[in-house]
Amino acid sequence: MAVEYIYPDYEIVRDYDRCIVCRVCERQCANEAHEYLSDKNKMVADNAKCVNCHRCVSLCPTRALKIVKSDHTFKENANWTGKSIKEIYKQAGSGGVLLSSMGNPENYPVYFDKILLNASQVTNPSIDPLREPMETRVYLGAKPERIERDEKGRLINNLKPQLKLSMPVMFSAMSYGSISYNAHESLARAATELGILYNTGEGGLHEDFYKYGKNTIVQVASGRFGVHKKYLESSAAIEIKMGQGAKPGIGGHLPGTKVGEDISKTRMIPVGTDAISPAPHHDIYSIEDLRQLVYSLKEATGYTKPVIVKIAAVHNVALIASGIARSGADIIAIDGFRGGTGAAPTRIRDHVGIPIELALASVDQRLRDEGIRNNVSIVVAGSIRSSADVVKAVALGADAVYIGTAALIALGCHLCRSCHTGKCNWGIATQREDLVKRLNPNLGYKRLVNLMNAWKHEIKEMMGGMGINSIESLKGNRLMLRGVGLNEKELQILGIKHAGE
Amino acid sequence: MKRVYVNEKWCLGCHLCEYYCAFASTNEKDMARALKDIRIHPRIRIEEKDGISFAVSCRHCDEPLCVKGCITGALTRKDGIITIDRNRCIGCYTCILSCPFGAVSPSEDGAIQKCELCIKTAGGTPKCVEGCPNGAIVFEERGE
């Protein structure tokens, strides 16, 4: 194009004193940002192609590269930011919907960062987790309402199927298709080793991964991709996906270019066809309809496994959750507006949904008020970034959390948010064979195991500090939380006091 | 005995092993200073064609043809590792001709060079193994 409206966002800075022209940057960049000039024996770069994924920076053996934000600027304007202007240029050029990946990056409040944890001093002893037992195990599923006995007074086991987790963290739904085979294998193997669960997402389950079934949650989404009897039976639990935090109210779209032989088989659709998940489930227009699907799935699997219903955190989430808790579902998963995605329309991702902290607090409170909290376990997702977020979420009322983005970061993701291009340089969000092989699951699963073990240590330390030796005693224990810089309304919704109170 | 093994399934063809190998044989602490503006002569080489790539270096054979063919006794096998005595090598290149893997090559000064598992330089783990970003080159015991 004769007129280039957009100046590159990033600049690739090369220290020519350190560059040994090994060309690893050139070989490893799927965006072809680096080029070797053979006549000059010199590397050069095209900033416009850089997505700031740090693959070249991480592999450069002499640390000759860095990526900096361009200081090229528009005339300063607090209203018309450079971002707004560039987006208009893009749309004026393409006529299309803007696409984005990963979670909402905009400057909305992060309530986890405005909540502080308690610790014991003097009057109540803290616990040293290295010296005393500390329990992080949780069970997810509906809990019995009452003790039942038979005519001889013996206890009747009326416990519905439960999921046992060694710690209150699971890997959230990411489909085979949105992420690579090797990423899936890493998640499955890590979940198995850790005694937690991972989630297939809506893309079906590759036949190689049935052996990890005991640690697998299989998803039934609006497209019903890859759903069949063996799929349901092989799992530990079944999740009905009603919504996703990154794109509440809309469906999914895996472009046909990504639907190769393997994915076509797994999703049960022809090679090269677009995999379109409709926005709604076309058979669910009410809680009663949802109940039918919940019980269809339970019937199909002989009432042996819990059914999860996953929804996006939206304005009336507490009411919806109340309905779900009465639908026969065993677990409600709520995905906040920061949740990740392989591709979503930018406007949806950045402007729809509500923060998970507020959604969690209001759902937990509502279910308690209605006396149905024990009908379901609550799992929350949507940007759980650290063990501190896990502890705060549990204290706000969650039984467990899902992590997606954090798990991908452990696998090498640098949050360049270019998943939708399908050219992930880290072998995660791509189906290109040469890129997929960059993620070696033998190394990847260990990094996930390390991350989770590190978090488990930290969770124990924080619990110990509060004088709590079991995650069950922390659950819904909002007295352990205090807000900082929050207004009355926010504190009221979160159900916590302000620091100093 | 621990050997260097290569898995082409995970080789990305990034050629970093070659640079770490070349760096290992210098006495510099800094790779940029060691390899700036020079043409490297690594003892490990990436072979690649049609999207398949893998690294090739000395297999340290149990019955090494290079050692058998060496007319001066410069190549010897000790504790399973085949090493070169550069003072004895006269550069006849019989070993280069006889190695079925193409793992022996001429060096800059006339003597031959080959992988010696970094025992003379880095010590411990071979540098190609340490430097591989994807675990495609491993140093392990696999039984004879």
pLDDT digits (tens, 9 = 90+) for A348-384: 999 999 999 999 999 999 999 999 999 999 999 999 9
Instruction: Indicate if B24 and B46 belong to the same structural domain.
Output: yes
Q: How far apart are CA A441 and CA A463, in angstroms?
A: 32
Instruction: Indicate if B41 and B23 belong to the same structural domain.
Output: yes
Instruction: Indicate if A255 and A187 belong to the same structural domain.
Output: yes
Say whether B134 and A59 touch across the interface (CB within 8 A).
Answer: no
- Residue A62's pLDDT is what? 97
Q: Residues A80-135: pLDDT tens digits?
A: 999 999 999 999 999 999 999 999 999 999 999 999 999 999 988 999 999 999 99
State the residue for tokens 């970094």. B118
Instruction: Indicate if B110 and B134 belong to the same structural domain.
Output: no
Per-residue three-class SS string for A92-159: HHHCCCCEECCCCCCCCCCHHHHEEECCCCCCCCCCCCCCCCCECCEEECCCCCCCEECCCCCEECCC
State the residue for tokens 């005339």. A75
Instruction: Indicate if B3 and B47 belong to the same structural domain.
Output: yes
Instruction: Indicate if A152 and A82 belong to the same structural domain.
Output: no
Instruction: Indicate if B70 and B25 belong to the same structural domain.
Output: no
Instruction: Indicate if A56 and A202 belong to the same structural domain.
Output: no
Mean pLDDT of A438-453: 98
Of residues B35, B36, B134, nearest to A440 (C-beta): B134
Of residues B14, B30, B134, nearest to A24 (C-beta): B14
Mean pLDDT of A15-23: 97
- Residue B51's pLDDT is what? 86
Helix A317-325 and helix A356-369: axis angle, to 10°? Answer: 50
Of residues A61, A64, A433, nearest to B16 (C-beta): A61
In a domain? residue A53: yes
Instruction: Indicate if B64 and B109 belong to the same structural domain.
Output: yes
Q: How far apart are CA B116 and CA B107, in angstroms?
A: 14
In a domain? residue A372: yes
Instruction: Indicate if A65 and A192 belong to the same structural domain.
Output: no
- Residue B1's pLDDT is what? 83
A42 touching B, CB under 8 A?
no
Instruction: Indicate if A144 and A46 belong to the same structural domain.
Output: no
A20 touching B, CB under 8 A?
yes
Instruction: Indicate if A77 and A147 belong to the same structural domain.
Output: no
Q: Across all residues in chain A, what is the average pLDDT?
A: 96
Chain B environment of A22 (Cβ under 8 Å) = 15-16, 18-19, 35
Give which of B31, B33, B50, B54 to mutate to test A binding, by max A Cβ within 10 Å. B31
Q: Residue A445 maps to which CATH number?
A: 3.20.20.70
Give A402's strand partners. Answer: A170
Whether the per-residue pLDDT at A1 is higher than 70: the answer is no
Instruction: Indicate if B144 and B101 belong to the same structural domain.
Output: no
Q: How far apart are CA A132 and CA A116, in angstroms?
A: 25
Give which of A437, A445, A447 to mutate to test B binding, by max B Cβ within 10 Å. A437
In a domain? residue A107: no
Q: How far is B72 from chain A (nearest CA, A)?
A: 36
Instruction: Indicate if B91 and B44 belong to the same structural domain.
Output: no
Of residues A17, A20, A59, nearest to B14 (C-beta): A59
Chain B environment of A27 (Cβ under 8 Å) = 12-15
Say whether B31 and A20 touch across the interface (CB within 8 A).
Answer: yes
Residue of chain B with shortest Cα separation from A56: B14
In a domain? residue A92: yes
Q: Residue A18 maps to which CATH number?
A: 3.30.70.20
Instruction: Indicate if A83 and A151 belong to the same structural domain.
Output: no
In a domain? residue A263: yes
- Residue A181's pLDDT is what? 96
In a domain? residue A452: yes
- Residue A101's pLDDT is what? 94
Q: Residue B97 maps to which CATH number?
A: 3.30.70.20
**Residue A345 region, left (φ>0) first, then alpha (ψ -120 to 50), else beta?**
beta
Say whether A27 and B13 touch across the interface (CB within 8 A).
Answer: yes
Residue of chain B with shortest Cα separation from A440: B134
- Domain span at residue B107 reads 60-114
Say whether B51 and A433 touch across the interface (CB within 8 A).
Answer: yes
In a domain? residue A170: no
Both tokens of A361, joined, read 């607090």
Instruction: Indicate if A203 and A332 belong to the same structural domain.
Output: yes
Mean pLDDT of A13-31: 97
Say whether B51 and A437 touch across the interface (CB within 8 A).
Answer: no
Q: Residue B18 maps to which CATH number?
A: 3.30.70
Both tokens of A310, joined, read 């996953």
Of residues A58, A433, A437, nearest to B10 (C-beta): A437
A29 touching B, CB under 8 A?
no
Instruction: Indicate if B91 and B106 belong to the same structural domain.
Output: yes
Both tokens of B39, joined, read 């043409």
Instruction: Indicate if B3 and B38 belong to the same structural domain.
Output: yes
Domain tally, chain A: 2
Q: How far is A79 from chain B (nearest CA, A)?
A: 44
- Residue B122's pLDDT is what? 60
Chain A environment of B30 (Cβ under 8 Å) = 62
Q: Residues A408-444: pLDDT tens digits?
A: 999 999 999 999 999 999 999 999 999 999 999 999 9
Q: How confident is the model at residue A337 (pLDDT cuts 50, 70, 90)?
A: very high
Q: Does the CA dihedral B3-B7-B8-B10 come out positive or negative?
A: negative
- Residue A2's pLDDT is what? 86
Q: How confident is the model at residue A320 (pLDDT cuts 50, 70, 90)?
A: very high
> Hey, what amino acid is at A28?
Q
- Using a 10 angstrom Cβ sphere, with 0-12 exposed, 13-18 middle and 19 or more buried, the burial of residue B78 is exposed
- Residue B120's pLDDT is what? 77
Whether the per-residue pLDDT at A40 is higher than 70: the answer is yes
- Residue A255's pLDDT is what? 84
A443 touching B, CB under 8 A?
yes
Instruction: Indicate if B6 and B50 belong to the same structural domain.
Output: yes
The ipTM (two decimal places) reads 0.92
Instruction: Indicate if B9 and B28 belong to the same structural domain.
Output: yes
- Domain span at residue A455 reads 138-160+182-473
The more confidently predicted of residues A332 and A257 is: A332
Of residues B35, B51, B136, nearest to A434 (C-beta): B51
**Any long-range contacts for A478-484 (C-beta under 8 Å, 24+ apart)?**
A478/A361, A478/A395, A478/A396, A478/A397, A479/A118, A480/A117, A480/A118, A480/A395, A481/A115, A481/A116, A481/A117, A481/A118, A481/A392, A481/A395, A481/A396, A482/A115, A482/A116, A482/A118, A483/A114, A483/A115, A483/A116, A484/A114, A484/A115, A484/A116
Instruction: Indicate if A144 and A264 belong to the same structural domain.
Output: yes
Instruction: Indicate if A77 and A211 belong to the same structural domain.
Output: no
Q: Does the CA dihedral A323-A325-A330-A335 come out positive or negative?
A: positive
Of residues A20, A23, A443, nearest to B32 (C-beta): A20
Say whether A23 and B32 touch across the interface (CB within 8 A).
Answer: no
Domain tally, chain B: 2
Whether the per-residue pLDDT at A471 is higher than 70: the answer is yes
Chain B environment of A434 (Cβ under 8 Å) = 12, 51
Low-confidence ranges of chain B (pLDDT < 70): 122-123, 144
Q: Under an 8 Å CB criterion, which residues of B touch A?
A: 9-10, 12-16, 18-20, 23, 30-32, 35-36, 51, 131, 133-136
Q: Residues A218-241: pLDDT tens digits?
A: 999 999 999 999 999 999 999 999
